[in-house]
Amino acid sequence: MKEGTLSAIYNSRSKTFLSLCLCFVGGITWASAFDIGRRGLLVIYGLLLASGLLVALAWIIKRKLIFIHGKLLASLPFLGLCLFFFSLGLWRYALSKPLLNRQHIAYFAGANKTFDAQVVAEADVRLGYVNYIVQPVEYYGRVLVKQPLYPRYSVGRYLSVKCWLQNQINTDSDFNYIKYLARQRVYATCSFAQINEITAGRLEKKQTAKIVFFHWIFGLKDKVAERINLLWSEPQSSFMAGLLYGSRAGLPAQLSEAFNRAGLTHIIAISGYNISLITIGLMSVMTTVGLHRRRAFWLCLAVVIVFVIFTGASASVVRAGLMGILVLIGQYLGRLSRIFNTMILVLVVMLAVNPMVLFWDVGFQLSFLATFGLVYISPFIVDWLGFVKINWLIQMLGATLSAIIATLPLIMFQFGRLSLVAPLSNLLVLWIIPFLMLIGFLALLISCFSLPAGLILSALAQIGLNYVIIIATYLAGFSWSAVDIKISLGLMIGLYILLFFAIVRKLK
């Protein structure tokens, strides 16, 4: 790096802040790529010490205890801080790796084990079975328990579990299932365990406010699911459940595949992309109909917060909500690109909480890239579409196309599929999604007081639901609507480098 460039960075507070954040992210990236565990802590502590010495040397020079000429020495504090934050990223990732001693549940893999545990996540219902994530009471680490569909155990319940514990193995060369589970602190699995629910006694007294809250939320979701099934028939009921709280449990496989081929899966997934599109759509519609910009902003913010809480406020949902709020703030300020430093800060906070998500959580990657596209690519598309006089339509088009561009290389790398009809299907469908969510929510609310009135609103929503299903099914029906294209990691990185330089050139 040239001395002038380095000087320009450390003389600017915003650039210094951005550089230090990127150094922290770089440290986690390096540690993730080479899987640096706790055995590397000694080297990391050495780097932290070296960075401290650089900063101390710079302080000595500044105090003129030692007189040395040269402009480059003025950058020593900055270089020391960069090394410190890079090492901090290495250190945070290393600490996320468990110590597999007798206090960790994974230590007992390969043997029968009986333990008391608490259900800490919503049941993951699959075809013919259900997965539970449980936290043993007396051990560190979590266990993924595969059980029959019934009986069901809700969040917060305490169970006595007896099973053959095993370490998960990777069965797919393209997917690291071990790391995928590790991001949720799951390091052991068992199948079809002997389970007895602990309904009373000492363990019930350990209920935390968080678990009680989630128990209430998921109970509310069960009641909402019952109400949705009362107002709509299948597959519309499952589709509405997907729109309102991201559930895909009852969605028919054929319709799910149609959404996939048409590039519409994101509308029934909780992601930063999805929430950002919803907030952009709501904000644009509200300002178009005459609502003051500030009131529209606060209303959209309330919608996002309620949505995050209602869907269970899991870590992935909270991350998606934060990304959506960032885009909302940028839209309120009138220029999305003004929030870049804030977006990087949010990224740093997310990685500090769970560094595993950077490499092993595709949902997180898609959310961040889509938000990046909304921040830096969308304004160019909106300017290019200036001939269209309908503001909310321009905003939706810009958001859709920018998110597709930003996430396309990752999708081809991770999933090996490219939807050729995605731009058209999103253009035809996305404008109606905020309205469907609003009408669906109102139908649920009103039906609690008057079922006939709720049914009238549900019939109106049914028209929109059928419209989306017809569009998705029709466009997915072409043999060429989606093609299998699997790209390498190197090509994906190369494409993102080209995209980055294209954006930088355009900004100049």
Write out the two tokens for 494: 């190369």
Q: What are phi and psi of 111, to 5 degrees?
A: -150, 160
The predicted-structure confidence for 434-466, as pLDDT tens digits, reads as follows 788 878 888 888 888 888 888 999 999 999 999
Q: Which one has a higher pLDDT value, 180 or 483?
A: 483
Please say whether the dihedral angle defined by the alpha carbons of residues 182, 135, 155 and 348, taken in this order, is positive or negative.
negative
* Residue partners of 263: CB distance under 8 A and separation at least 6: 404, 419, 421, 422, 423, 425, 426, 482
The whole-number average pLDDT for the span 244-272 is: 78
| Residue (of 379, 413, 387) closest to 496 by Cα position | 413
Mean pLDDT of 38-64: 65
What is d(CA 54, CA 459) in angstroms, rounded to the nearest whole number? 68
Phi–psi pair at 421, nearest 5 degrees: -100, 5
Among candidate residues 68, 83, 75, the one with its CA nearest the CA of residue 7: 75
- On average, the pLDDT of the chain sits at 78
**What is the SS3 assignment for 355?**
coil
Strands (E), 69-193: 111-119, 124-125, 130-136, 142-147, 158-165, 186-191
Spatial neighbors of 4 by CB under 8 A, at least 6 apart, are none
Residue 232, classed as helix, strand or coil, is coil
The pLDDT-based confidence of 69 (bands split at 50, 70, 90) is very low
Mean pLDDT for 14-25 is 83
Both tokens assigned to 229: 């099934």
Q: Measure the CA–CA gap between 101 and 333, rounded to whole angstroms.
A: 51
Encoded tokens for 323: 């990304």
Q: Is the pLDDT of residue 101 over 60?
A: yes
Instruction: Return the top range by mean pLDDT from 78-87, 352-361, 434-443, 465-474.
Output: 465-474
| pLDDT of the residue at 225 | 80
Contacts of 57 (CB under 8 A, 6+ apart): 76, 80
Is residue 470 scored above 90 in pLDDT?
yes
First-residue to last-residue Cα distance in the chain: 20
Specify the CATH class of 105-206 in words.
Answer: mainly beta
Query: Is this model's pTM higher than 0.85 or not?
Result: no
Q: How far apart are CA 105 and CA 135, in angstroms?
A: 9
DSSP 156: T
Q: Can you list the alpha helix ranges (DSSP code H) found in 232-314?
A: 236-245, 253-261, 272-288, 293-310
Q: Is the separation of the CB atoms in 394 and 382 below 8 Å? A: yes
* Dist CA 6 CA 72 (whole Å): 9
Please, are residues 391 and 287 in contact by the beta-carbon 8 Å criterion?
yes
As a whole-number percent, the residues of the chain with pLDDT over 70 amount to 79
- The token duo for 274 is 């999805």
- Report whether pLDDT(65) > 50: no
pLDDT at 68: 47
**Residues near 273 by beta carbon (within 8 Å), at least 6 away in sequence:** 266, 323, 366, 367, 370, 371, 403, 407
Number of neighbouring beta carbons within 10 Å of residue 180:
17
Closest CA to 309 of 217, 378, 239: 217
Burial of 137 (0-12, 13-18, 19+ CB in 10 A): middle
ω into residue 151 within 30 of 0, thus cis?
Answer: yes
User: What are the residue boundaries of the structural domains of the chain, listed by start?
Assistant: 3-96, 105-206, 234-507
Q: How far is CA 284 from CA 196, 269, 412, in A?
A: 52, 22, 31
471 pLDDT tier (thresholds 50, 70, 90):
very high
pLDDT at residue number 274: 67
What are 129's two structure tokens?
Answer: 């079975």
Average pLDDT, integer, range 389-399:
72
Q: What is the mean pLDDT of residues 400-414?
A: 84
